[in-house]
Structure 1
C-alpha cells in the first residue's frame, strides 16, 4: 500500500481539526514537513476520497455533525511499512548492529580500537592510549563520532537501539532523514567530547549520549512549535530525566551495572535542547509570518 501526498499546505494552516476527523474515521495518514509546507500523506487508494473530504470539511468536524459508525481498530503498520518512512533511522541502527557483530559487543579489542575516541594498544594487562591530537593529525577524524556505534553487552545495545528507533523516527518524519543524520553526528560529537573532557583517557561508547540529544531536541522543539510527531508521552520524558539523575548519583554503578557515561548523557541533553530551541524558534517564526 503506497502513500501519496494529497495536501500541501503552508505551515501557518491549521490542519489539526482535519487530522482529528481522519483519526475518528480511522483513516491511515501521516503529516510531514517538507520545503516549508506541511504535507498530508494517505494510501493512494483513498487519496481522491480524502481530498474531497477536505474540500467539504477543511476544519474537520468539531461539532460532530458526521455520523461515523464505530469500526474495529486498525492494526499498526508492520515493520516493513514503517521502514519506508524511517530509512535514515534504520540505516544508523543497521550500522550499529554491524559494529556490534564485528566488535563482539566490546570483546574484540583489535576491531574496537579503530572506532574508539582514542586509539589504544594493549600492553600486557594495561591499555595504552594514543593522544587525540596524534590521531587527528593522522587523519582519523571519524573517531570523534564513531564511539556511538560501540556497545558493551546485548542489553546495552537493545535498550539504546529501541530508543533510537522511537526517537529517530519522530525526527525523521518531521525534519527528514538528512537532518536526522546531521543531528545524530552532532550529538555524538558533543557527547563524546564531554565524556572525554570529564573522564580523560578511557573506553566509552554507545548511543545513549545521542539519545539524550534527540530527547532534548524533541522536548524543546515541541514546546515552541507543537507538532504531533514530537509530542512525547510525559511519562517517557520524566522517566528518562529521572534515570539521568539516578545515574549521576552513582547508584547505578554502585549496584554493579558498570560505569555510566554520565558526561555524555548531560552533554547530549544540553546540545539537543539547544538545537530544539533553534529549530523551534525558527518554525515558530515561520508560522507567525
Structure 2
C-alpha cells in the first residue's frame, strides 16, 4: 500500500498530540522532514480522512472526546517494518554484533587488535601499543572510528545497542540515513580521540560515546527546532545525564562496573550538542525565510 504526504507543516508546529491520536486509532503513519517542513505520511486510501481529522483535532484528543474502542490501543509497527525504515541504524547494530562475535566480546585480543584505536601486541602479560602516528602512517585510518564496534560483555553490547536503536532511528527518520552515518562516524571520532587524549593508550570501545553524541544532538536540535520525532521524554534525558555524572564521580567504577571511558562520554556529548545547535539554528533560519 503506497503512502502519500497528507500534511506539510512548519517545524514549529507541534504534531505530538495528533500523532498520539493516530496511534490510538491504529492509523499507519510516519513523520519525516523535507525542505524545512515536517511531513506526515499515511496510506493513500485514508489520506482524505486523516486531513479531515487534523482539521477537527489539530492538537490531538488529549481529553479523549472521541470514543475509540479499547481494542484499538496503540499498535507499534512490526520489527520488519521498523528495520525497513531504519536501515543505517540496523546496519551499525549488525556490525556491532558481528564484531562482538568475532572478538568474543573482548576475549579475543588478536581480533580486537585490528579495530582498537591503537594497534597493539601482547608480549607475555603486557600489552605494547603502537603510536597513533605510526598507525596512521601505515594507512590504518579506520582505527579512528572502529572502537565503537568493540564491546566488553553481553550487557555492554545489549545496553548500547538498545539506546542506539532508540536514538539512531529518530535521527534517521528525520534527517536520513546518510546524516545518521555521518553523525555516528563524527561522534565516534571525537569520543575516541578524547578518550585517547585524556586517558592515554589503553583498550577502550563501545557505542556509548556515540550515544551521548546522539543524545546531545536530539536534545539541542529539538530545543531550537521542535519536532515530535526528536522529542525525548524528560526522564530519559535526566537519567543519561545523571549516569554521566555518576561515572565521572568514580562511583560506578567503585561498585564493580569496571573502568568507564568518561572522556569519550563527555567528548561525544559536547560534539552532539554542537551539531544539534548548528542543525537546529539552520532549520530555524529556513523556517523563517
Tell whether the structures are fold-level matches, with TM greater than 0.5. yes
1:27 is the counterpart of 2:27: yes
Distance in 2 between the 1:105 and 1:61 partners?
Answer: 47
Residues 63 and 30 of structure 1: CA distance in aligned 2, closer, same or farther (over 3 Å): closer
Contact 2:14 2:227 in 1 (8 A): no
Residues 100 and 79 of structure 1: CA distance in aligned 2, closer, same or farther (over 3 Å): same
Distance in 1 between the 2:222 and 2:182 partners?
Answer: 19
SS at the partner of 1:84? helix
Cα displacement string for residues 162-188 of structure 1 (whole angstroms, at most 9, x for unaligned residues): 000000011111111110010000000
Aligned to 1:60: 58
Structure with the larger RCO, 1 or 2 (CA within 8 Å, 6+ apart)? 2
SS at the partner of 1:256? helix
Superposition RMSD in Å: 2.3
1:11 is the counterpart of 2:2: no
Distance in 2 between the 1:90 and 1:181 partners?
Answer: 11
Q: Shift in Å at residue 8 of structure 1?
A: 5.7
Distance in 2 between the 1:67 and 1:179 partners?
Answer: 40
In the alignment, structure 1 segments of 5+ residues that lack a partner are none
Distance in 2 between the 1:47 and 1:160 partners?
Answer: 38
Q: Shift in Å at residue 24 of structure 1?
A: 6.1
SS at the partner of 1:115? coil
Question: How many pairs does the alignment contain?
Answer: 285
In the alignment, structure 2 segments of 5+ residues that lack a partner are none
Aligned to 1:134: 134
Aligned to 1:248: 248
Stretch moving more, 146-155 or 21-30: 21-30
Aligned to 2:163: 163
SS at the partner of 2:3? strand
1:99 is the counterpart of 2:99: yes
Distance in 2 between the 1:161 and 1:266 partners?
Answer: 19
Q: Shift in Å at residue 44 of structure 1?
A: 4.0
Aligned to 1:145: 145
Residues 58 and 87 of structure 1: CA distance in aligned 2, closer, same or farther (over 3 Å): farther
SS at the partner of 1:255? helix
